[in-house]
Amino acid sequence: MGENLVPDTSVELAGLLLRNPVMPSSGTFGYGLEYKDLYELDTLGAVVTKSVTREPRYGNPLPRIAECDSGMMNSIGLQNPGIDHALEIDFPALRQVYDGPIIANISGFSVGEFAELAARFEKVNYVSALEVNISCPNVHEGGATFGQDPVLAKEITQAVKEVSTKPVFMKLTPNVTDITEIALACEAGGADGISMINNFKAMRIDVRTRKTITAEKYAGLSGPAIRPIAQRMVNEVYHAVRIPIIGIGGIRTADDVLEMVMAGATAIQMGSANLRDPWACKKVIKALPHRMHELGISDLDEIRGVV
């Protein structure tokens, strides 16, 4: 690579053109408006919104966030104002301050709900793609999660694709025996890509009260502690499917981004890092081309899935 050649950080993700691979993960960036006064949102490769459900949700009881040595735990419970408010207020407001791709995260509690949400988003042109969260409880199947059952994962994927022409990324839970089985089921159902991973099921206990620190007994672990496991799972899925992967899990630095791409990710999401430092995404985006230059990397395609 020439001395003065600036590395190309742009990526193509299931037809979406991103100026860089960095985007905030769902639930850590609101609908983007909370960050608009901190830095130019167009710096981001894309914006992934908090989960949208059919009805408004308050979420789980407090407390629902706990610190850990190498990350954090949360049990928010999909708090959001519901799809009517999101489509009428939140998404149009985001489009007013952001010109890049908007990826709407949707969560349902039945196959029909996922399809209904996707159909509603199909009618608006300011949403570029859907991220389908199949890590939420399936209340119609004994409390199991959709993302742990390949049959249901494929069924939801098919239902969403039947009503949506937008790229569909299925967001997978890591709390499974074989994540490639779920990824292959989503691919067979027509998914355009995979987002992975969501949080690990975890628990912390207050030794003084002898009760869990979060009101819900179990919560989701995120942060640097999970990154090596996330990268292993991304690598496994990369070698199993032919659709692009958005890598998620403990990313905080430019080197973390490059590691995830080397594991097989096309783009990445930063989650808990945004809660620790609101400028986290901006800092990583700024550092990425400099680090690529230092390592002799001209573009991200040349290192994707090298292991």
The beta strand positions in the chain, using DSSP E, are 11-13, 16-18, 22-24, 47-48, 65-68, 71-74, 102-106, 129-133, 168-171, 193-196, 200-202, 205-206, 211-212, 219-222, 245-248, 267-270
How many residues does the structure list for the chain?
Answer: 307
Query: Would residue 136 show up in a list of annotated catalytic residues for this protein?
Result: yes
Backbone angles phi and psi of 241, in degrees to 5: -115, 170
Strand partners, 211: 206
Which residues fall within 8 angstroms of residue 37, CB to CB, at 6 or more apart?
none
Which residues lie across from 220 on neighbouring strands?
A: 74, 201
Nearest to 155 by CA among 185, 122, 198, 113: 185
Peptide bond into 197 cis (omega under 30): yes
CA R_g for the chain: 18
**Catalytic option among 68, 136, 186, 281:** 136
Take residue 116 and report the two structure tokens written for it.
């209904």
User: Which residues are the active-site residues?
Assistant: 136
